[in-house]
Structure 1
């Protein structure tokens, strides 16, 4: 078993619960600011250790002016706001549709042909979305929190868009992640100042620091290391365990009763992602 993949999955499985618990102490903007600054420091440390040749060159990193706006600023702002409105199990499952969104965007923006597997994968994924959003009451087609569901799905779209932009950036991962999060932290700081500042809560800040390390920072590098040290397709398949393990952690730590509609809907979404990958999706999904 690839230890880097195991650690990545375990860390990522905890973050939905930490999102929800931290949001009970501070608002989404404060949480994003603290976590983004933490991640920036993590990537700064990694770059100082590895000393890549162009990591300190601003001119070489203009791409991050846009990438940092998409992620972490806009993506996580939308995602955290979704978590503030929805049960953690619902927000997580809907956000996990991003690989399916990636298939759609790749077809349209990159002119990549869509396979039959990908078509069925998209249909399964969207059926899962309807089941989760209506909490099993499909006949009514009435979403319990349409704004929250829309935000969670929008976050999936934003992350898929970020992935496509990221594919066109050939800088080393730790280099572009540092610059992305540096610019992102600037955007978040300006946004927070415009809103009148951030909330100071010791436990909330501690939760945000955890998110900055284990959602945005170290775990991302562990996952890249896992892909480098083992067969990419084999490792990527393990990521399906993350939302499943996460449901158990959400139930234990947040106290949410896991709804049957979440289990069924998530199963359909994961099946859709699996089919999409068989159609030739990126190995990192």
Structure 2
């Protein structure tokens, strides 16, 4: 039995993490017109790695890692940090932040599909229905900006976001199968450091530093937020939530992410919100809940 205070604290940690991750789409959108994706990500990863390094020194965690875990960290860092963030940042060049927030909630469907292939989980009728519902929601979100009700808008940004959700699903499955026995802060630090290192050649190629003077104080604040709060605190708090709550319970908080993105996009970017887009996003979440078998869990929880 988990103590009430510990349960509340863990829930608060998870909520804060999801809040920061949801707002990250808005912060990225706010500066992506001034900086190319690689330059933006280099700054974000560098700030995040520096912040995490400070936390490691503060908590006196050893930085030395066993050689056997280096390939694991490289694979996870390339997929979960570098490729994932490059795809999302590039997608935000052509789509709005709120749509990106709704699209990312589709990721658990890909996770389930990959689990069926690699972890031999069964595809039931209920899961099939949930997948179809989630796909229809994706079509509604992507079609909202083109005036279609149920059609796929030909926009590279939406295609990239779908690739992003698939990439995150691959990363999640690998994360389950690769057991790295290191503190989560250490793992996150090296992943951020790897992400920063991989973006430096692109920064040099594009002479990205020449755009730094174009940034306003507000835009620099968005970059610091992405580095410290998104790449740093959010991952740290997410790990703290997992120390108390079961993984299935923590994952329930992920469905709040599009809501935080939507609210931030309206107030910070003044984005115009289409009803069909919101409806599509809700349908995505319903479909994902059905796929994960969590609709019944929510109903039972509300009856208690």
Structure-1-length-normalised TM-score: 0.88
Q: Does 1:249 align with 2:264?
A: yes
Change (3 A) 1:118 1:50: farther
Contact 2:130 2:289 in 1 (8 A): yes
Partner in structure 2 of residue 94 of structure 1:
103
Q: How many residues align?
A: 277
* Structure 1 residue 11, shift from structure 2 partner: 2.4
Q: Is 2:256 the partner of 1:210?
A: no
Corresponding residue for residue 30 of structure 2: 21
**For 2:26 and 2:208, how far apart are their aligned partners in 1?**
25
Structure 2 Cα separation of the partners of residues 169 and 57 of structure 1 = 14
Q: Deviations over 1:204-241 (max 9, x none)?
A: 44322211222222111112212323454444323322
Contact 1:71 1:184 in 2 (8 A): no
Q: 1:134 to 1:63 in 2, by over 3 A?
A: same
1:14, distance to aligned residue in structure 2 (A): 2.2
Give me the whole-angstrom Cα distance separating, in 2, the residues matched to 1:228 and 1:13: 22
1:114 aligns with 2:129: no
Aligned-pair CA distance for 1:163: 1.2
Cα shift at 1:274 = 1.1
Pairs within 5 Å for 1:31-46:
31-46=40-55
Residue 127 of structure 1 corresponds to 136
Report deviation, 1:38: 1.4
Select the residue among 174, 199, 205 that pairs with 1:194.
205
Determine which of 74, 83, 89 is the counterpart of 2:83. Answer: 74
Q: Any idea what SS the aligned residue of 1:192 has?
A: helix
Structure 1 segments (4+ residues) deviating >4 Å = none
Is the Cα contact below 8 Å between 2:149 and 2:276 reproduced in 1?
no
1:183 equivalent in structure 2: 194
1:256–1:123 Cα change, 3 Å: same
CA contact (8 A) 2:188 2:235 kept: no
**Alignment partners' CA distance in 2, 1:241 and 1:142:** 25
Q: Could you tell me the TM-score, scaled by structure 2's length?
A: 0.83
Alpha-carbon contact 1:122-1:272 (below 8 Å) kept: yes
Structure 1 residue 137 displacement after superposition: 1.2
RMSD: 2.3
Aligned to 1:283: none
2:101 touches 2:257 (CA, 8 Å); kept in 1? no
Report the counterpart of residue 258 of structure 1 in structure 2.
Answer: 273
**1:221 aligned onto 2:240:** no
Q: Decide whether the 8 Å contact of 2:109 with 2:131 is kept in 1.
A: yes
Q: 1:16-46: CA deviations, max 9, x gaps?
A: 2212112233222211111111121222223
User: Which of 161, 169, 179 is the equivalent residue of 2:179?
Assistant: 169
Any residues of structure 2 matched to 1:148-163 within 5 Å, and which?
148-163=157-172
Distance 1:267 1:213, change over 3 A: same
Following the alignment from structure 2 to structure 1, what is the Cα–Cα distance between the partners of residues 93 and 161?
Answer: 11
